[in-house]
Amino acid sequence: MAPDVEPAERLSDLLAHLYHLHENAQDPHLELWPDGDAIGVLAYTRAHHSALPPEQVSPARREQIRLRLKVTGLLYSLIDTEQLGALDQARPPGARRSEHLLTLTELADVLVLDTPGAVSKRRDRLYAARHHRPRTPWHGRQLMAEREAQTRRRVVEVEQARRHHSRVRAAAQELLGVRHDLVLTEDAQDWLHGLIQLLEEDPLRPDQMPSLAAHLSLALAELGEDAARSPAAAGALARAREALSYRDR
């Protein structure tokens, strides 16, 4: 039973993003990645969370957790859709009793519900959630309140992301301005070159903003604590690290 609308983020995209986080971190166990297996990916990323750079130098661990939660939420949604489809095939809405494939008692047993009536309530809840239809005036008010709260949270998140990106961009520009006063490894040079290319895009597309932060965090990871050869470079490094952690304040 296919969903009525395409989810905002596809499962395959979320899993690919998780893979790239571990790939960019040079996770030594990446050959064990369970490609295409969402449950396996969740188990892998939980077990190998520490393979990502520590939070002092990179937002990768926080981003990984956010992605894992998005995956679990999407899986719940997909499971609910499939359960609703199975219930409607077992007992097609409006069909005669003779056309039912399973009784309510049988369904309650399969779903481990206390009573046959709980099956109808389960189906009602799944249908209402899938079609965003309130079942009662109380449910309607609750749904409206939840949507308003989601909108407010989204506004706050967008503003936080905008401020975070603004600080990251400024920090990246400052760091590039003192790069000749930094002890650069070959990898650090590559990440800084990537920063230059990203900063040439003005303005950045929303999908490029996380890439800017990722490039900066990976450059900082390569530079280390003793990379500065001048007070200006030391200050730029400190402000870059501060900019990456700004969102969590």
- Please provide the average confidence, as pLDDT, over all residues in the chain: 84
Q: Is the dihedral of CA 131, 135, 137, 138 positive or negative?
A: negative
Cα gap 20→33, rounded to integer Å = 11
pLDDT band at 63 (very low <50, low <70, confident <90, very high): very high
CA-based nearest residue to 89, from 101, 79, 97:
101
Q: How far is CA 223 from CA 56, 132, 139, 190, 228, in A?
A: 13, 50, 54, 12, 8
Domains of the chain from N-terminus onward: 11-133 (no CATH), 159-248 (1.20.1270)
- Whether 73 shows a pLDDT value over 70: the answer reads yes
Cα separation, 161 vs 150, whole angstroms: 16
**Percent of the chain whose pLDDT exceeds 90:** 32
Among 71-75, 97-101, 105-109, 199-203, where is mean pLDDT lowest? 199-203
Mean pLDDT, residues 166-194 taken together: 90
Torsion of CA 200, 203, 206, 212, to 10 degrees: 30
Distances (CA, A) of 201 to 83, 140, 191, 208, 212: 46, 45, 16, 9, 11
Evaluate whether 169 touches 210 at the Cβ level (below 8 Å): no
pLDDT class of 246 with cuts at 50, 70, 90: low
**Residue 4: predicted pLDDT:** 46
- Cα separation, 21 vs 211, in Å, equals 11
Q: What is the pLDDT of residue 208?
A: 72
Among 69, 70, 36, 29, smallest CA distance to 51 is for 29
Q: What is the CA radius of gyration of the chain?
A: 24
How does pLDDT run across 216-225, given as a tens digit for each residue? 888 888 887 7
Global pTM? 0.47
